[in-house]
Amino acid sequence: MKPLIQQAEATIPTMWGTLRMIAFSESDGDYSPHLALLSTPFDNEKKVLTRVHSECITGDVFGSKRCDCGAQLMSSLEQIAQTNGLLIYLRQEGRGIGLINKLKAYNLQDEGFNTSDANVHLGFEPDERTYEIAIEIMEQLGIQSIELLTNNPEKLGSIEESNIELVRRVPLIMPTSKENEAYLKAKKDFMGHLLDGK
pLDDT band at 22 (very low <50, low <70, confident <90, very high): very high
Show Cβ contacts of residue 163 under 8 Å, excluding neighbours closer than 6 positions. 139
CA–CA separation, 79 and 198 (whole Å): 18
Query: Mean pLDDT throughout 109-121?
Result: 87
pLDDT band at 135 (very low <50, low <70, confident <90, very high): very high
Average pLDDT, the chain: 87
Residue 67 has pLDDT above 60, yes or no: yes
**Residue from 83, 76, 86 nearest 143 by CA:** 86
pLDDT score, position 192: 54
Residue 11 has pLDDT above 70, yes or no: yes
Residue 183 has pLDDT above 60, yes or no: no
Residue 56 has pLDDT above 70, yes or no: yes
pTM: 0.88
Q: Which domains does the chain have, with CATH numbers?
A: 5-92+132-176 (3.40.50.10990)
pLDDT band at 20 (very low <50, low <70, confident <90, very high): very high
pLDDT band at 73 (very low <50, low <70, confident <90, very high): very high
User: Active-site residue numbers?
Assistant: 127, 129
- Cα end-to-end span (Å), the chain: 36
Q: What is the CA radius of gyration of the chain?
A: 17
